[in-house]
Amino acid sequence: MSFNRRLACVAAVALAAVAGVVQTAAAEPGHHGDLRPARMVVQQGGVNVLPPFLTGRVFLYDADNNRPLPGRSVIFTNSGGSEICRAVTDSNGEAGCTGPVALGPTAVDSVYNGYFASFAGDEHYKPVKAHGAVNVFVDPLY
């Protein structure tokens, strides 16, 4: 494409954006546009075989200033979306929990695919979801 043709295309897009014909990528108010971003750090979890359970742990922060977000609910799920457990973040932004894992395909899925932790967002922060890998344990005395 020639320089003049590129310049004409850029000018047309700019004019359309100014005229309101082209939508921008900015979120609309009420659709997370006015909310702050959250950041989730997921630690490696564990799957115990006997008895079967999964443990997970995350830290939730304000993505702009790295301050912990206490009092926020975090849901831990397997890769299929089934809830394993849930916890509320403490003063350090940490949430951890342990939940049962059924022996069979669900346990294999949790070992192979790990777990997901999600914060649904609230009146101040956008939702965030993260993935955590797991180690396998066989500890009947756990």
Instruction: Give yes or no: residues 8 and 57 share one domain.
Output: no
Instruction: Give yes or no: residues 51 and 103 share one domain.
Output: yes
What does the alpha-carbon distance between residue 142 and residue 138 come to, in Å, rounded to a whole number? Answer: 9
What does the alpha-carbon distance between residue 60 and residue 86 come to, in Å, rounded to a whole number? Answer: 14
Q: What is the pLDDT of residue 32?
A: 55
Instruction: Give yes or no: residues 95 and 116 share one domain.
Output: yes
Q: Is the residue at 142 inside a domain?
A: no
Instruction: Give yes or no: residues 27 and 50 share one domain.
Output: no
Enter the pTM of the model: 0.72
Q: What is the pLDDT of residue 117?
A: 97
Torsion, Cα 26 93 76 30, to 10 degrees, reads -30
Instruction: Give yes or no: residues 8 and 70 share one domain.
Output: no
Q: Which domain, by its residues, includes 1?
A: 1-34
pLDDT tens digits, residue range 82-113?
899 999 999 999 999 999 887 777 667 777 78
Q: Who has greater pLDDT, 26 or 15?
A: 15
Q: Is the residue at 50 inside a domain?
A: yes
Mean pLDDT of 41-70: 93
Instruction: Give yes or no: residues 131 and 68 share one domain.
Output: yes
Percent of the chain with pLDDT over 70: 73
Instruction: Give yes or no: residues 125 and 65 share one domain.
Output: yes
